[in-house]
Amino acid sequence: MTVPAIGPSLTGAARAARIRAEVTAGAAELAARLAVVVATEDESTAWYVRSLARAAAKTGVACDTVVLPADAAPERVRETLAGLSTDPRVHGIILQTPLPPGAVAADLAGAIAPEKDVDGANPSSLGRLAAGLPAFAPATAEAVVELLDAHDVRLGGRTAAVVGRSTVVGKPLAHLLLDRDATVTVCHSRTPDLAGVTSRADVVVAAAGRPGLITAAHVREGAVVVDVGTNATEDGGLVGDVAAAEVGAKAALSPVPGGVGPITTALLLRHTVMAAARAAGADLPSPAAPGPTAAAGG
Ligand code: NAD
């Protein structure tokens, strides 16, 4: 096993490029198509959707942005998702947040057909993931495991602390890490003595959306730290949840930007091509298939 070097060494670009190359090989032939539903005028969402569309264009995945008004009724969003779910030209569907007032993301995402749910947003996808059944995992959660694999970080038999319990990152990630035989503790805003938990873990994943939350005191010497946080700074930049300079001096750390983010985008495209291949009748390995121990019920 290669032990990742201390510092911001857990970069995502190389693995993201590898996934995109693999996607490019199948996308055009399958006429793979992703639909991104947007019902917000939020600037950072618009930026994210544009970068996803650019990545899709490079790989040959067609990417349609379906724009609804920022005050669209939840029922209209639901009908849009249901329509895309039955459209045979569309293979993957993503519902962007934030959503209009009154709309509940997990509720509306129930209208995304599970076989097209490439960002694991339909509650049934999370349920299947928890049950060890094939399902698309939320791309960000899967990207954390993919990043660790890319840097040969062993998970089996090791301890992991996940900071954040959201449905899109913390909870599905806990299941993915369990499937890889890690011993997982999920921390959140009401966890007493956060540093006491995280500083004992071999692997720490920060997904709280709080800049500077994870300091040197939260991390043991030689640990592996994955920073999922994306927090906009006043000068238009982006920082994670980890105090990068001090943590990077004692642990292997993923940078923000340039760590989990590029892999997340690449995985959404990979999932779309997998969905297109399955729609075309190809026999593919299941997404997020459980590891050997989990499959055996261990
Ligand atoms: P969320 O707001 O839904 O959840 C945040 C979680 O952090 C909650 O479970 C909360 O209990 C926990 N938390 C908040 N303050 C805490 C504290 N002081 N101590 C311990 N736990 C605390 O956020 P989310 O949607 O899960 O996103 C988390 C972060 O990841 C955000 O910065 C988001 O922008 C980022 N994100 C990145 C990507 C990517 O591709 N890189 C994708 C999705 C989300």
Q: Which domain holds residue 170?
A: 139-260
Per the annotation, does 164 bind a ligand?
yes
Residues 143 and 255 in one domain: yes
Q: Would you say residue 73 lies in a domain?
A: yes
Considering the domain architecture, whether residues 34 and 110 belong to the same structural domain is answered as yes
SS3 at position 118: coil
pLDDT tens by residue, 238-280:
999 999 999 999 999 999 999 999 999 999 999 999 999 999 9
* Longest CA–CA separation in the chain, Å: 53
| CA 208 / ligand 1 centre spacing (Å) | 3
Residue 148 in domain: yes
Which residue minimizes the CA distance to atom 31 of ligand 1?
Answer: 209
Is 56 part of any domain? Answer: yes
Separation between Cα atoms, residue 106 and residue 168, nearest integer Å: 10
CATH number reported for the structural domain that contains residue 242 in this entry: 3.40.50.720
Same domain, 108 and 70: yes
Does residue 201 sit in the same domain as residue 253? yes
Q: Which of 167, 169, 271 to mutate to test the pocket of ligand 1 (most atoms within 8 A of CB)?
A: 169
Same structural domain, 46 and 94: yes
- Residue 222 — pLDDT band, cuts 50, 70, 90? very high
Asked if 105 and 211 sit in the same domain, the reply is no
pLDDT at 104: 95
Indicate if the alpha-carbon torsion angle 283, 286, 291, 295 is positive or negative.
Answer: negative
* Whether residues 105 and 163 fall in one domain: no
What pLDDT does 56 receive? 97
| Helix or strand holding residue 270 (H, E) | helix 260-279
DSSP string, 75-102: HHHHHHHHHHHT-TT--EEEE-SS--TT
Please check whether residues 221 and 253 belong to one and the same domain.
yes
CB 261 within 8 A of CB 226: no
The model's pTM is 0.94
- Which residues contact ligand 1 via a Cβ below 6 A? 140, 163-166, 168-170, 187-189, 191, 194, 207-210, 213, 228-231, 260-261, 264
* 292 pLDDT tier (thresholds 50, 70, 90): very low
Q: What average pLDDT does range 220-226 have in this prediction?
A: 98
Is residue 101 in some structural domain? yes
Is 230 flagged in the annotation as binding?
Answer: yes
CATH code of residue 56: 3.40.50.10860
Answer yes or no: is 104 within a domain.
yes
Q: What is the pLDDT of residue 35?
A: 98
Does pLDDT of 291 surpass 50? Answer: no
The predicted-structure confidence for 39-78, as pLDDT tens digits, reads as follows: 999 988 998 999 999 999 999 999 999 999 999 999 999 9
- Give the pLDDT score at 170: 98
In ligand 1, the atom with minimum distance to the C-alpha of 97 is 25
Model pLDDT, residue 297: 45
Question: Residue 6 in 3-state DSSP?
Answer: coil
Which of 80, 74, 67 shows the shortest CA–CA distance to 39?
67
- Look at residue 17 and tell me if it is in a domain: no
Do 165 and 74 have their domain in common? no
Q: Looking at the 3D structure of the chain, how many domains does it have?
A: 2
Q: Is 53 part of any domain?
A: yes
Report which DSSP code applies to 119: T
Whether 298 shows a pLDDT value over 90: the answer reads no
Question: CA dist 35 to 45, 87, 119, 187, Å?
Answer: 15, 11, 11, 33
Compute φ and ψ for 183, nearest 5 degrees. Answer: -100, 115
In a domain, 127, yes or no: no
Q: 186 and 96, same structural domain?
A: no
Same domain, 111 and 144: no
pLDDT beyond 60 at 294: no
> Based on the domain organization, do 210 and 99 belong to the same domain?
no
Percent of the chain clearing pLDDT 90 (strictly above): 89
Paired with 186 in beta bridges are 162
Q: For the segment 19-41, what is each residue's pLDDT rounded down to a tens digit?
A: 999 999 999 999 999 999 999 99
